[in-house]
Amino acid sequence: MDYYIRVRDIPVKVTEEIYKVYCQGARKERYFRESDYRNKTFFYDALDTEDRNGSEMFWDPAAESVETIAEKRWLLEKLRDIIKGLSKEEKELIVRLYLYEESLRAIARSSGVPVTTLQARHQRLLKKLRKEIEK
């Protein structure tokens, strides 16, 4: 017996093994399409045309714009570079305050440095970071 599959409306002779594999794949696709129809699943690519991607027709007002994302990423990279240039004590203060979320009082207790001194260092450090970022 001869087996054929259609490729661009042209019958192509294939082996029995290839024919069976092809039929399994075609049946699997049809099964998924049928279950999507039964479950009332809708895909945006059903709206695709030559000019437009179907998913582009819907806009999420809560999503950040590409410009905002790019600006944040640029600022984070700049901040990383600036932090690399800080002294060991300044880096430690930044890490403990913002990464480990320790309070100035907790840092003062563990380091033996007065809270007011840490507050002054923190303010100086923030000014230094702002100045470097604005360059």
pLDDT at 109: 94
Quick one: 12 and 46 in the same domain? yes
Q: What angle separates helix 66-84 from helix 115-134, to the nearest 10 degrees?
A: 120
SS3 of the chain:
CCEEEEECCEEEEECHHHHHHHHHHHHHHHHHHHHHHHCCCCCHHHHCCCCCCHHHHCCCCCCCCHHHHHHHHHHHHHHHHHHHCCCHHHHHHHHHHHHCCCCHHHHHHHHCCCHHHHHHHHHHHHHHHHHHHHC
Q: Could you say which of 17, 32, 57 is where a domain stops? A: 57
CB 128 within 8 A of CB 78: no
CB 3 within 8 A of CB 14: yes
Q: In this structure, what CATH number is given to the domain that contains residue 125?
A: 1.10.10.10
Q: Please list the pLDDT of the chain residue by residue as tens digits (135 residues).
A: 888 888 888 888 989 888 888 888 877 787 777 787 788 877 777 778 888 777 777 777 788 888 999 999 999 999 999 999 999 999 999 999 999 999 999 999 999 999 999 999 999 999 999 999 888
CB 123 within 8 A of CB 130: no
**Domain extent at residue 83:** 66-134
- The total of structural domains in the chain comes to 2
The domain boundary, picked from 16, 32, 57, lies at 57
pLDDT at site 92: 93
What pLDDT is stored for residue 96 in this prediction?
94
**Do residue 72 and residue 53 come from a single domain?**
no
